[in-house]
Structure 1
Amino acid sequence: MPENLSVLIVDGCPVTRETLRSHLLGLHDLDVRIEEASSAVEALQLCARLTFDCALIEYHLPEDGGPRLLSQMRDGGHLPFAAILLTGSDEDQLSDESLECGAHEFLNKETALRCGVRAVVGRSRQRFILERDYRKSEADLRALFDCGVDATVIVDEHGEVRMANRSAQHLLSRDDSTLVGQPFLSLLTPQQETSFRTVLVAERPPAQYELDVVRSNGASVPVEMTVSKVRSPSGNVTTCILRDISERRQLQAERTQQRRFIERITDSVPVSLFVHDVSNYRILFGNGTVMGLLGYPHSPDQTVADQLIPLVCPDDQEKVRLHLAVSAAGVGTEVATAEFRARHRDGRQRWILSRKRVLRREEDGLGVLILGMAEDITERKKREEQLQTLSLVARESTSAIIITDAAENILYVNPSFERTTGFLLAEALGRKPGSFLQGPLTDPSNVRMMREAVASRTPIRMEVLNYKKDGSTFWIEIFIGPVLDDHGACTHFVAVQNDISNRKRTEQKLAEARKEAEQAARAKGEFLATMSHEIRTPMNGIIGMTGLMLGTSLSSAQQEYVETIRLCGESLLGIINDILDFSKIDAGKMELEDFELSVRSLCEESLDLVSAQAGSKGLELVVDIADDCPERIMGDPGRLRQILLNLLSNAVKFTDRGEVCLRVEVNPGAQLAFAIADTGIGIPVALQSKLFTAFSQADGSTTRKYGGTGLGLAISQRLAQLMKGEISFSSAPDAGSTFCLEIPFRPAAQNRVTRQVRKKTLQGKNVLLIVGNSSSRAALGRLLRRSGAQVHDLAIPEEGPLHFSQSGPQDVIVLDQNILDRNRAGVDGLALLRQIRCSPALIATPVVLLHRHTDPDIAESFPSIGAIRRLAKPIHAELLLRAVERAADVLPEQGAPSHKSASGQRRFSGAPRILVAEDNSVNQRVARLLLENMGCLVDVVGNGLEAVAAVKQAPYDAVLMDCQMPELDGYSATGHIRAQESTTRLPVIALTAHAMDGERERCLEAGMDEYLSKPVDAGDLYTLLKALIRPR
């Protein structure tokens, strides 16, 4: 049967095409189908529709030429098995170009016709079939190569990749084009490139490697590589089979991590865990042994029995031997347990708990591997002993004890709980305490606090109302605390409660008594306030009127009568003030202020207040402040002055002759001590114990002779105690008394200097000090020496003349006029003064004369005394030093001081208009006269309504407003006045007979500007008006 053959003839010449057709049709053994094309375009169109076995193509085809057509046919997939290029010449260059374009033959047309087209076509076809079979075989081999599961790379002798199957391409994430021809070493990590280089050149390289190859994205992949050398005609090649071991590496990492995790767990537990074989006790795994717990290393050469038994307490050795034998035999499935005592390496006895169990057995059932655990339970044993002791205590305790688990379910109650509540242990077990011990009357806030404390594991102590089994209530004081294990986790709660019902009933009675006492105190306070108002109102009239009368012309008898009335009124006012102070202290409402004050000024001003009384008795008043005393301190100056004034007044009151000396010094512990010493009548020992008792005097005769309420010392002691201080005293009958106020002090913040510092202004000056009283002479001498003066003390002998010539020249003489006034044996005062001036050294020396207010002017009886400066006693340190400095020409003289008017009254220039709102007619007259004497125009109204109306009608400069008035009181009237003001604020001064605590604040809150308590002092009133009235 003839073979079918399809041929395409492509030639621009019709003759040539016909010639070739004729030759082909003459082949009798072939059934030839022939198609013709005169151009490349026609040929490509035919190839697109038909398939050809052979193509005869003119090399010099018009337009693109034969080689170009072959390239297009090959690119389009239409290249036949035999492609023959025909040409009219025999150029070798054309032959090479034809073969490069995909032609199977390149023949001269004449040669082709001469040799026969059949032979040419047959030869080309056979060649094509061989090439096709080779390519098919190669494709089959490649397909087989690519089917390999393992990645395979073939490397030539130059180290370049010749082939790589699909698994290799997938593993390396590269295609064939990026792998073939690449150096194999470029596929490895830089660390492995050098070591693997020797493998490629080795004759017999190791069979397997584990290394990392690099993908196209730079990621490394762990592989196991099998290497083999193969000889081929083209040279030696190396076959590298790569197996991805990422999962194996991951599994190994996970196993390593698991092992480390288990090791960390075993290392963290407070017990020894280990696995050993039965035969020789070889430790296969673990974190320690029994020997390690006892401080000894485990020796592999010895059995645990040989090491452990000698350390075990003799009473427990047999128990340990049996335990080791049972565990070594590996019989049974139960855990072998033993507790025993052993001696630690440090010499102490420890309790050890050992547990062992079979992990693996042989076929015969005998154990092969043993899991062992050893734990030091010494502390647990101690706790068990403590719990036994506590259990005994709980049973015998009178307090009710409840033990719950961490969920607050009751595990135990002691007998005392049963007796107290009526609930038996069986009835309480498993219940929550709050479910049956609290009820409707229990304070919900207490229950909430207990729940919050339990939830936060915080101990709590509180009082709560509970219920008994019979429904009755009782008060308990309960403590609830958590019990924590070694890791801080709560395991139990313990509650201890005591019945405090009796105490609560007592507290209720005390609260009721306290309430009654407070009501009584309020009633007493209201009574005192009322009495203060009712007494001070007429006292204002008495003292005010007597003060006005003393400013008029009176006979000596009238002067004495009025002065007596005034003194009696002031005495009664002092008694009222004492009672009010005592009431405030007794009620706990006395509040101390904290201001900066001068210690010396406080002492000197306090002495000034008693100087008149002391001068009338001829007493010497002395203040002596130690050098190390602070100059300024923080404290309540008013209350300190009150204490000192009370002590000084008592000293002057009970001293008929001699002196009263106030000394100040610093005692250990930053205590400032004020000591008031007198030369008075003293206090009998039998009566000293009740000296600080309120409303008491030393005895009845004292009260009758000296007067007083007996409140002064009691108030002073209470004030001292409020200052965290104390008043103490020492006394003997007819030997005087010394009262000492001792208080803690703080130096003033602005002046932390703890010593009095003054410039040495009298440095080099000689001062002759002639003072009869030794205490005064010593105090004044120290004062002058601190300023740098050379002081010459001259004591006055009881008899005989004075020899002033012995003193030498002096710059200043400080002379106590008291020396000149007294009668001395042998020398009278004037003679003494003449003797001073007759001394050549002292004839022109200036004199600073110390005198009382009541002493006569010495210049009238002895005009030749010369230069003299008078200084009133009691002596103020600063005034004395200035007087001496001026006398010694250290300080320049000052101009003459200004004096008040002859009447001693202060007057306004401009007649300010004042409204007085006062319902008491006497007080109206007192206020009118006081204000008119100050030069004021005065209008008076009788209640608050009239005051509000008057302010609307006239422009007043100030209002004196009584607080307690009918119809409308002063507080409300002030509010109305403030409400109707536009811009200018009218000064309102409160006048009240109330002197109780808080009255001033109440007045200021009502809108008043200042506050004066009755009886009103004229000087205080003038000062307030001067400060508040705006100049016109």
Structure 2
Amino acid sequence: MALNKTSAGWLRRLSNRTYLPALLALAVVCAAGYYAERQNDTIHHQSERARIQQQAGLIKSRLEGQLNGDYQRLRGLAAMLATEPDMPQSRFSQITEQVLKGQTAIRHIAAAPQLVVSLIYPMKGNEPALGLDYTKNAAQRAAAHRVRDSGEMVLAGPVNLVQGGTGFIYRLPIFTGPEGERKFWGILSAVVETGTLYAETGVAGADSGLEIALTGKDGTGAAGQQFLGSADIPAGDPVLMEINLPVGSWQLAARPAGGWQSRPGNLWQLRLVLLAAGTLIVFPTFLAGRLSAARQTVIGQLRRREAELEAVSRRLEIAVKTSRVGIWECDAENRRVTWDSRMHELYGVPREEGPLSGTAWNARLHPQDRDRVAESLDAAERAKTNFASEFRIVLDDGTIKHIRALASPFTDAQGRDWMIGVNWNVSEDVRLREELIHANQALSERNTELKEGKRALEEAHAELQKQQAELYRLSLVAKHASDSIILTDARRNILWVNDAFTRATGYSAEEAIGSTPSDLLDGPDTDLSVIREMNRHKERGVRYHNEVLNYTKSGEEVWFDTNIVPVTGADGEVDLIIGIERDITRSKQRERELAEAKLAAEHADRAKSEFLANMSHEIRTPMNGIIGMADLLAEANLTADDQQNVETIRSSAQALLKIINDILDLSRLEAGKFAITREDFNLRDCIDSAADLFRPKALEKGLSMQVSYAAGLPERLHGDDGRLRQILVNLIGNAVKFTPEGKIAVRVSHAGADPCRLVVEVQDSGIGISEAQASHIFDRFTQADAATTKAFGGTGLGLTISSMLAKRMGGGISVQSQQGQGSCFRLELQMAPAGEAMSTEAPALADAPPQLGPCRVLLAEDNQTNRLLIRKFLRGQPVDLEEAGNGRAAVEMCKELQPDIILMDMSMPELDGIGATREIRSLPIPQPVIVALTANAFSSDRQACLDAGMDHFLAKPVKKAVLLHTLAAVLAEAAEAQQRPRASA
């Protein structure tokens, strides 16, 4: 019970406002102490981490400097091996000793040309490693191949060394040769001892006060394997740093030896200071609270007196405001208004006139404010609420004032309702407010401009940094570019050269700077006119490009593709000249080789053409006699056996002639000299004529042949109907040849919406071909297989020529076939619409040879068989035939006999047909009609004959009907030419 009373007493004391400040001060002091202690812990932890981070950063810098320095030494050694791949052991040891001077971490270095160790430093103690073949060593093979294939340095380790201990292994690939043709030479390896490396860089120092862990074996970074330090260091919130290696990285983790301290050493000193400070704060606050209680009593008395003075103060306040605020009151019952003098001044109304009536006051309101103010005032009166508004009034002289009005309703002691209010002039306030608004707008606009300016400055700064970075990158590009780059001043003195220039010319940068390019590079065969033209362009500040022959320091010729770019200053004068040179020596050599190869190919092509022409002539000449005589025998009355023998001779000769024509066609197509003659033709006539050629053979084999035409095909087209017929003859002929039984279908249509895109499908039920055979069926000299060739014969050129012709005519040929089921060849050609209408019937030779009129014919032919054949062809015709055995005799006989027609062979002894024609055309005699009758079947031969002055061209072997029709046409033309002068007379 006594305890409860004591507690209640303390609660009463604590609830007393007197002690509240002291309690608050105590709470603040406690909170401040807790916060200070926490801050002290944080500061201690941060300072400790900063110290560890600084020490770790120093170790990181040492490691990176040591490893990258070793890497640069090895790169220099690798570069020397690349330039001197046949370096002996003695020179290797001498150079390596100089490279490794002053460092102790690298234990030994080995060079392995073609992955076989041949050079070692130091040699002592490492002799067994000589001859080690990495490709045959399972422990070394994968790493060696990785370096060779990637073309980059590999840092492996740490690994256990055979000599004892652990170490890191550098492996660098070495390539020889210029850029673009680099060849793999071998590998340069170096072993870095871990103990020495750790000792030199401070990693293993016992006095560092750190626990260190390294992660990233073989340069794999934070994701790699830890290879140094305790495994619990990375998990103990260490300081982490990335160590950048020449290739890859390590992660360094560091913490204080023994781990992080949880409490700072000055904890109790801080607590004593906080206790003392709290005492100095709380105790005076308690005393101040006691004094405050005494003051509250006095304040209560003062408040009572203040209430008594408040009424007086209100009146005094109104009196003070009367100096600038107008006061009015209105009796709500009778609407009587009372103004003070300030109100009269505000509204410009003399005092003697009294206040304005409600209507007059309403009229003084600005028209734009009148309705708003009236509604607001009426609402306040009805609701008996305060009225507050700002409006404009218009005085009699037109002056506009801004008035602010406040009013409040009240009820007097007699129960009457009143409205009392004040008005004051706020025109100046409005003006200042508008000016302030304008100023704020201007300030806002200025701020916007400043922001834009700041943004522009930031963008300019960023652009400047970007340009600086770009310039830095460009400088690196220029220095390490594969093309030679030379910077000269306006007088052509060299200011700077890149590494490629020194490699290409053999001059060092020190030797080049200060000289002119001509002093260094010009030689005995340099084209001085090119150099002078280049200098003129430099002086004019105009770009220049050319190929220049220069010489290296050792005197070797080198061709450069040179680009000169003068750079002018603000005054238009040349300040700097940039020269970019690309080594094209090998390209020049290849150009010479290609020119020589082209010349050799042209010689071979001419030789092939000459061979084919000679072969054609030599074969066609006897073929003319064979086919001609066979045709004459066929006209005679022969027995059935003799007729069969003659037909066998004719078909065999025609087969041989087709082979010759196929070879010639193929040669023309390969040479691009095969002419496509386009003219209007009847589509059905062309296709039907090709099919009709094989109907007798098809009927003989018991095959049915159908030709069908799709709807919508044009009657006439514009194209080469002769080549179309040639292709169809080959396709339909093959179908008949390779179909022992069944049928053959020829379907004619068009592709898509283009009626001129002609599609012809030739389908048979023959032997077919396999998918593998179909892939090369269009190759030259190719048939399905050897058995097919033996069974059916043929050269294998027909489909090749047909495919090439189809491509020349804007289309192609494809095949679908199944062995034993037949084949379907699809021909697609691009034709054009026909022009004017033409006859639907093609002209044909008469069945019977024509009867010639009387004429004198001179036959110039050196082959007796062919002369005999022509005599027999002309037997029974009223022709006076004379014969000449060579071109010279033909000219002499022409002078004497003056023939009407000359049948002229091209190839004859003493004087060929071309030369004989030219001489005859120069004779002062009535000129005969000269018809070429030759075994030279090339289009070039035809053109040569026409250019020499011949009128017609017949290729051997010639048919009797063709010869007679040609002679008849020639005689008809001559007769018509003679009648023209008579008609005009």
TM-score for the superposition, normalised by structure 1: 0.47
Q: Which of these two proteins has the greater Rg computed from alpha carbons?
A: 1
Which structure is higher in helix share? 2
Higher relative contact order structure (alpha carbons within 8 Å, sequence separation ≥ 6) = 2
